A = this chain, B = another copy of it.
Amino acid sequence: MDEAAETIADPDDPRLEPYTKMRERDLVGRAGRFIVEGEVTLRLLLGARARFRSESILLAPERWPGLAPDVAASAEPPPVYLAAKPVMSAVTGFPIHRGVLAVGLRGPEPDPAALVPPAPAPALVLGLAGLTNHDNVGAAFRNAAAFGADAVLLDAASCDPLYRKSIRVSAGAALIQPFARLAPEQDWLALAEALDLEALALTPGAAESLDALAVPARVLLILGTEGPGLDATTLSRARPVRIPMAPGFDSLNVATAAGIALQTIARGQGRLVSAV
């Protein structure tokens, strides 16, 4: 057992305060903190590509030997607390099965412009407009990471990628995929123009198919919610494109649509690994 880990037996220990009432806090927020669950995700939080600092880690004692090397190798090893699963469950307020939790710190919100490679370098940016479902936001992040998007931008209406469920559904991609949020009054098309990106609006009714597209070197791909879709103003000013589908069932989940469109664009920009 490494001396860097401290065993805690008292669920009321003040060092565990950020882990208390976990589900209630999912609803009201955590003021600059977020919760990471599970081994794969914790490794991403500690790894070289992580965008956030970890404030502390809380493990069931049997999980520590397997994770100690990751903590030791991290740029800023956080304190590690060990507590038996019943103590962890008492702290969090629900049964803890995997025994791996951590608290991350959001830090300052980046400016969207800071995340986009400057022209004339190639750029691929995913824009999420009005995505209020945590599963969809998490799944879109997972796909953005899988296809090497430079950044994800979210409008003010979209939900939080660092919400516990978003992180889980993202398979941890929310911790490594650069993202920023638009200001409430910020306009997608003005932003695209300022960053020298071609704005593509994904919409099933578009005349232009993504497969026929000569992929631009610098793309902002904007997606809206299933159902209402993107607002008419954005659609009229961006270049509408659609995913080619079979006749008769033109219905895709928004995150799946993001994945397919990102793959097509990333391939066209030469971002994907074609050989092992």
B272 in contact with A143 (CB, 8 Å): no
| Copies of this subunit | 2
Contact of A146 among B145, B146, B250, B263 (CB under 8 A): B250
Contact of A267 among B173, B244, B273, B274 (CB under 8 A): B244
Q: Write the nearest CB–CB distance from A160 to chain B, whole angstroms.
A: 20
- Known A-B contacts A171-B251, A207-B276, A212-B274; the reply to A147 vs B256 at CB < 8 A is no
Minimum CB distance partner of A44 in chain B: B249
Contact of A145 among B211, B246, B263 (CB under 8 A): B246
B147 in contact with A246 (CB, 8 Å): yes
A147 in contact with B259 (CB, 8 Å): no
A275 in contact with B209 (CB, 8 Å): yes
Minimum CB distance partner of A263 in chain B: B260
Q: Mark A124-143, 1 if CB is under 8 A from B, else 0.
A: 00000000000000010011
In A261-276, the 8 Å CB interface with B consists of 263, 266-267, 271-276
In the complex, which range does the number of interface residues on chain A fall in? 35 or more
Minimum CB distance partner of A49 in chain B: B248
A271 in contact with B246 (CB, 8 Å): yes
- Known A-B contacts A211-B267, A251-B142, A252-B146; the reply to A246 vs B260 at CB < 8 A is no
> Chain A at the B interface: mostly helix, strand, loop or mixed?
loop
B255 in contact with A146 (CB, 8 Å): no
Q: Write the nearest CB–CB distance from A272 to chain B, whole angstroms.
A: 4
- Known A-B contacts A255-B256, A256-B259, A275-B209; the reply to A247 vs B148 at CB < 8 A is yes
Minimum CB distance partner of A243 in chain B: B263
Q: Write the nearest CB–CB distance from A149 to chain B, whole angstroms.
A: 8
Binding site for B on A (CB under 8 A): 49, 139, 142-143, 145-148, 171, 173, 176, 205-207, 209, 211-212, 242-253, 255-256, 259-260, 263, 266-267, 271-276
What would be 29 A-B contacts, judged by CB atoms less than 8 Å apart?
A: A139-B256, A142-B251, A142-B252, A142-B253, A143-B252, A145-B248, A145-B251, A146-B245, A146-B249, A147-B245, A148-B245, A148-B246, A148-B247, A173-B251, A206-B276, A207-B275, A209-B275, A211-B267, A211-B272, A211-B274, A242-B276, A244-B273, A244-B274, A245-B272, A252-B259, A255-B256, A256-B256, A260-B260, A260-B263
